[in-house]
A and B are shown apart, each in its own frame.
Chain A
Amino acid sequence: MNLIGDAIVWLNDPLNWQGKQGVPYLTYEHLYISFFAVLIAAVLSVPTALLLGHTGRGGGLTVVVSNVSRAIPTLALLTIFAATAIGFGNRATIIALAVFAVPPLLTNTYVGIRQVDPDVVEAARGMGLSGRSVLLRVELPLAVPLIAAGFRTAAVQVVATATLAALVGGGGLGRIITDGFGQQDRPQIVAGGFLVALLALLTEGSLAIVQRLVTPGRELKRSQRAVRRESDAVVV
């Protein structure tokens, strides 16, 4: 019984790379779902968090949102949306996943704006910049590294959980795993697991590079790592 060998055979079978059940199409579908989920979440949460951060209000809200969202199983939300009028399929999946992408974007953007040195903001005000200019030309650029970190966390999470859509009739690479379980096809299960894991790790890796590129200076990188560690090892 050489399961890994059989999984490699499965991955080399040209039949598994063709058509709507093939690896390329499912990968495309997976990325398409993930992209729009993150986009919707970003459109909703980044401007909100920018305003909250700028005015210094709503800090408690961001904490509550991220704590409560952790308790909601992705599977539950995917199923609930699939049972609404939206119907099951990619649209319901995108909306459900967008909900889970909101907390990291909201929290990181908010923290990113709040952690801007108050002296810098004051100096900008002293130079006669309006509130809007302070936000867009001073606070936002300085918050970019943390916002990028939020995008990374959100995107990795969305790509990972998009797999679950296959359980409730959605598309994406999770299909290969759920179909494998359905047909008791163990090589296919392992091959699907490999593809899904690979996509998640590639997403994490490439976005880590992006985050690095938009983070100037060594000092900022170090302080950002500290912030990231803090937000990972959440206290409360």
Chain B
Amino acid sequence: MHRVLAAEEPANPWFTWDYVRDNSGDLRAALEDHIVLTVETIAISVLIAFPLAVLAHRYRRLAGPVLGLTGVLYTIPSLALFAFIAPYTGLTQRTVLIGLVMYALLILVRNILAGLEGVPPDVREAAQGMGYGRGRMLWRVEVPVALPAIMAGVRVATVSTVALVTVGVIVGYGGLGGLILRGFQNNFYRAEIVTASVLTVALGLTLDLLLAGTTRLLTPWARKRT
């Protein structure tokens, strides 16, 4: 504004507070969408991944197919996955949600399974000796012991999901990704691109820290060791 002479090339700084102030409404809305999509994705993925992992843990023969299938899904690029889903579910938030859940599944199933497999046989035997049945064994012994590994999986899945939500922009629901692409299409509006990108990374790292804190609260017995 004060640089009147710079006529040939308008200033295009990488970051300005002016941008943040003028677009606080858009930023907040995009951030909210981003958080809602992430939380929904993780909640649904855990609900699907947990029974899958328990099944694979209980019936060893299922472990190969379950991990193989989720592995193939994981290899398919996100844009292609959205391309398969979108023609059926349309340009909706649900399309993004389904795609994101498919990706989070692999990470969660692997970690939950690894956690359950990592329960020491002695512990399981002791519980059996005390008369624990299968259900009680799972909830009272195996899940608590596997909790650090499970939470590690939830953290990785959450951080990856926050980054992946941006790709949802292809069907119009990319959270902060929408602002990143809008900045690109608005003649490389750098401030918009950078602000939205930084917010995305900050959101991922913040959720990661929150989950790390939750893990500490949930596993008081593991605290002394570290």
Contact = CB atoms under 8 A, between A and B. Distances in A.
Interface of A: 3, 67, 70-77, 79-80, 82-83, 156, 159-161, 163-164, 166-169, 174, 177-178, 180-181, 186, 189-190, 192-194, 196-197, 200-201, 204, 229, 232-236
A79 to B, nearest CB: 5
Given A83-B188, A196-B77, A75 B83 contact: no
B205 interface: yes
A164 B79 contact: yes
A79 B87 contact: no
A80 B177 contact: no
Contacts of A236: 152
B102 interface: no
Given A67-B159, A75-B180, A197-B80, 13 more contacts: A3-B88, A71-B208, A73-B166, A74-B163, A76-B196, A79-B184, A82-B188, A83-B190, A163-B79, A177-B79, A190-B83, A192-B83, A196-B83
Nearest to B208: A71
- Which applies to chain A's interface (DSSP): helix, strand, loop or mixed? helix
A193 B84 contact: yes
Contacts of B188: 82-83
B144 to A, nearest CB: 17
Contacts of B80: 163, 177, 192-194, 196-197, 200
Contacts, number: 147
A189 B79 CA distance: 10
A161 B72 contact: no
Contact of B177 (A75, A189, A190, A232): A75
Interface string B132-161: 000000000000000011001100100110
B4 to A, nearest CB: 25
Given A83-B190, A160-B77, A168 B184 contact: yes
A188 B102 CA distance: 23
27 contacts: A67-B159, A70-B163, A71-B163, A72-B163, A73-B166, A73-B167, A73-B180, A73-B200, A74-B166, A75-B167, A75-B169, A76-B177, A76-B180, A76-B201, A79-B180, A80-B197, A82-B184, A156-B75, A178-B170, A189-B83, A190-B83, A196-B77, A196-B80, A200-B76, A232-B110, A235-B148, A235-B149
B49 interface: no
A172 to B, nearest CB: 10
Contact of B204 (A71, A194, A234): A71
Given A83-B193, A189-B83, A234-B152, A75 B76 contact: no
A233 B181 contact: no
